[in-house]
Structure 1
């Protein structure tokens, strides 16, 4: 699949570029740094399948950007990669058929997993059969009823996730009113950053928790995990 990166920060664009190049089946066709160049590139490259879209450009308002991309290129798939935590933006993303919304700073494993999920969905749509099941509809469009907060099931866990540690991470999140950062999880559980990130991102993918960006007085914003 052909991927175009739209990101106004050149350094961040290079990081995301490396993530894309590391994903099997992804063919990066370049990156653009502003809205004008984005629409020029899309007009010149009709073979782009997926747009990794930041929302903050100096030459176009973010809702106009999203609306114009969707209006002019209705068949183009979009993954938003943005620091925004504005719920109105999230609502518009849903209405405009955005595949996923990744909040900056994006963990490499989550970035790659999202691209892999997108690739799997495209493979599903390209199958020769023209029918789908209820489970397919729930997976692609969502809408499956959500239950109230409860511990994650330990019946089927991916490699690298064990039930005991998962329960400890979940319990710590449940007791933390303000949520936990990766560092906070390390302190609470006594595990490494890599392990904490793996378990937290697993809970995000399973929709048990969500993330917010926490801005301090100095330095980069922290990714804070909260129980739903």
Structure 2
């Protein structure tokens, strides 16, 4: 199993920071390593922890999040950032995009929207690191896939079939991305807390849109069992 993506939350409102932490904890493959509520704490935590991902607000009593974004970019270019803020000004969004943020989420945060972003980010993070470990040169198709920062469900998301809900689908996908070997519907169901029948319906949907492959294993007693593996693109 791969190491979790380490997340630092920078948010001056402790109540909101705690909500963000709980939301992160619901998504497989992530670990919150710290919460900073002011500029001094934020700079110390970033410098010491050097997380893979930062969840950053814009408005603080003692600093501006967009200025802090510039500091991160100048000092720690490998850290990715997701803005989570009440700032709705076009200029704030533009500055954030110029700063290379992965996403820009408006408060109040909806769990489904937040989960979607973390699932997409983990897909991007995993693909980038697989490429870095495997080769020095990449193809245009691989570049396009990374820059789009989406995954194969993006087009299908708009019209999910009856009985398939986005949040549960994200949970199933997150589990599949966590494991390198085949898994059964029963194993996935235990991890996400829904029935095996429901889990199998979601897995078969992922098979139908070519995100997951399925095979049959006969096991030690000869009883056939369907096993699933996430496709690697």
TM over 0.5: yes
Question: Per-residue displacement from partner, 1:170-226 (whole Å, max 9, x unpaired)?
Answer: xxxxxxxxxxxxxxxxxxxxxxxxxxxxxxxxxxxxxxxxxxxxxxxxxxxxxxxxx
Q: Deviations over 1:85-130 (max 9, x none)?
A: 1111111111111100001111101101101100000111122244
The TM-score with structure 1 as length reference comes to 0.60
1:139 offset after TM fit, Å? 4.2
Deviation for aligned residue 1:74: 1.0
Check the 8 A contact 2:56/2:65 in 1, yes or no: no
Q: Which runs of 4+ in 1 moved over 2 A?
A: 136-142, 153-162
Contact 2:73 2:99 in 1 (8 A): yes
1:80, 1:102 within 8 Å by CA — same for their partners in 2? yes
For 2:119, what is the secondary structure of its paired residue?
Answer: helix
1:140 aligns with 2:146: yes
Q: Distance in 1 between matches of 2:126 and 2:8?
A: 19
**Structure with greater helix percent:** 2
**What do residues 3-42 of structure 1 show as CA deviations (whole Å, max 9, x unaligned)?**
0101111111111100101110101102111111100111
Q: Deviations over 1:113-152 (max 9, x none)?
A: 1011000001111222442334x4444334xxxxxxxxxx
Count of aligned pairs: 152
Question: 2:159 aligns to what?
Answer: 157
Counterpart of 2:94 (choices 85, 91, 96) is 91
CA distance in 2, matches of 1:123, 1:154: 21
Q: Which of 35, 40, 46 lines up with 1:31 in the alignment?
A: 35
Shift of residue 156, structure 1, vs aligned partner? 7.5
Q: Distance in 2 between matches of 1:159 and 1:71?
A: 45
Q: Deviations over 1:64-88 (max 9, x none)?
A: 2221121111111000000101111
| One of 87, 100, 104 as aligned partner of 1:101 | 104
Q: Cα offset for 1:43?
A: 1.3
User: Structure 1, unaligned stretches of length 5 or more?
Assistant: 143-152, 163-228
Q: Go from structure 1 to structure 2 and tell me whether the alpha carbon gap of 1:37 and 1:140 turns closer, same or farther (over 3 Å shift).
A: same
Q: Are 1:123 and 2:133 an aligned pair?
A: no
* Aligned alpha-carbon RMSD (Å): 2.6
Q: Is the 8 A contact 2:53 2:81 kept in 1?
A: yes
Contact 2:13–2:37 under 8 Å retained in 1 = yes
Asked whether the equivalents of residues 23 and 114 of structure 2 are also in contact (C-alpha less than 8 Å), the reply is yes
Deviation at 1:154, TM superposition (A): 7.8
Distance 1:3 1:160, change over 3 A: farther
Cα separation, partners in 2 of 1:160 and 1:18, compared to 1, 3 Å: farther
TM-score calculated relative to the size of structure 2: 0.59
| Contiguous gaps of at least 5 residues in structure 2 | 149-154, 165-233
